[in-house]
Amino acid sequence: MFNLVLFGPPGSGKGTQSTNIIDKYNLVHISTGDILRSEVNNGSPLGVEAKKYMDQGMLVPDEVVIGMISSKLDENPDVKGFIFDGFPRTVAQAEALDNLLDFKNNPIDIVLSLLVGEAELKTRLISRGESSGRSDDNEEVITKRIKEYHAKTSPVSDYYKRNNKLSEIKGEGTVEQIFALLSEAIDAHIE
Ligand code: AP5
């Protein structure tokens, strides 16, 4: 099994690059943002609760997302591996993921961290907001999401650095150039 975390701030290209990685390496995609948006669209109790946080650019409480991940892992017992996109986003989530995967004897293999400057993040997200219909793609909420990232999510990269799992990847350039760098890091790890 091969388990990969694609890490980075809002708008760094996690979703875009996940699509490419899944196709090439045959991994199952787990995006907590996508799962939460689908719960919001279905109007489920979880979605109604999550929406309050998402619309303000704040993280949804750890226990909610950790429960979602645990269910997803159980639903996919015989797969080549997972790509985690937008999770873990706090150190508590990273520790919970390690516990869940250790229990299955399939730890995280590699964490690829996309490095993108703040001005570029804002440009990408504002531009996406013009067509996405996402309630969190407007200037005010984008600023809060980036602030939340610095406060709660960036310590996750130190957590993985301490565990020798982190590789930093330049996340600016064309989608193809960035995918080539990600593939290089994955291939080096697999070999
Ligand atoms: P989530 O959906 O995970 O949002 P995010 O992390 O803010 O990231 P995005 O999906 O907005 O960006 P991305 O990095 O995937 O970039 P993308 O490829 O789309 O989370 C949303 C909310 O849900 C959170 O705020 C929180 O409330 C909640 N949530 C989710 N997970 C949670 C968790 N684990 N714990 C607690 N709460 C959680 O690219 C962005 C744009 O840039 C696109 O338009 C794309 O086409 C473009 N683009 C991509 N690459 C390039 C490139 N190389 N050059 C130019 N443009 C590019």
The class (CATH top level) of 2-180 is alpha beta
Q: What DSSP state is assigned to residue 153?
A: I
Centre of ligand 1 to C-alpha 48, Å, is 20
pLDDT band at 190 (very low <50, low <70, confident <90, very high): confident
Q: Where are the domains of the chain?
A: 2-180
Helix axes 62-75, 32-42, angle to 10 degrees: 100
Q: Which residues lie across from 85 on neighbouring strands? A: 6, 31
- Our answer on whether the CB atom of 51 is closer than 6 Å to any ligand 1 atom is no
Give the atom of ligand 1 at the shortest distance from the alpha carbon of 90. 35
- Our answer on whether the CB atom of 16 is closer than 6 Å to any ligand 1 atom is yes
**pLDDT for 72-83, tens place per residue?**
999 998 899 999
Centre of ligand 1 to C-alpha 125, Å, is 8
Write phi, then psi, for 135 (nearest 5 degrees): -70, -15
Catalytic machinery residues: 14, 89, 128, 134, 145
Q: Candidates 16, 40, 126, 181: which one to mutate for ligand 1, based on the most atoms within 8 Å of Cβ?
A: 16
Length of the chain as a residue count: 191
**pLDDT for 48-74, tens place per residue?**
999 999 999 999 999 999 999 999 999
Q: What is the pTM of this model?
A: 0.97
pLDDT computed for residue 105 by the predictor: 86
Question: In this structure, are residues 129 and 138 in contact, taking their beta carbons and an 8 Å threshold?
Answer: yes
